[in-house]
Amino acid sequence: MAETSTAIKSPNYTDEMVKTAISMYQDLGNEGLDTIAEAVGKNVRSVRSKLVREGIYVASENPATRKIDGPT
């Protein structure tokens, strides 16, 4: 049988870290993710994921590609 763990997980981000990340993101936008990550001591991917979970992050639009007719 599988054992159930009763250990309590500690949060990865403190409330202060979340507030810092959100306020910095509102000022800097997507270009400031490196700066935000450095400020809160996490990597860029983690910060982006946290902002997505908080409902704050807006993905950058990719440039539209043109369809080229002709041989490949």
Mean pLDDT by 10 residues, the chain (72 residues): 70 92 95 95 95 92 78 72
- Dig out the tokens for 33 from the structure: 């993710």
Q: How far apart are CA 30 and CA 65, in angstroms?
A: 22
Q: What is the pLDDT of residue 17?
A: 94
pTM of the shown model: 0.71
Q: What is the pLDDT of residue 64?
A: 77
Q: How far apart are CA 2 and CA 13, in angstroms?
A: 29
29 phi and psi angles, rounded to 5 deg:
75, -160
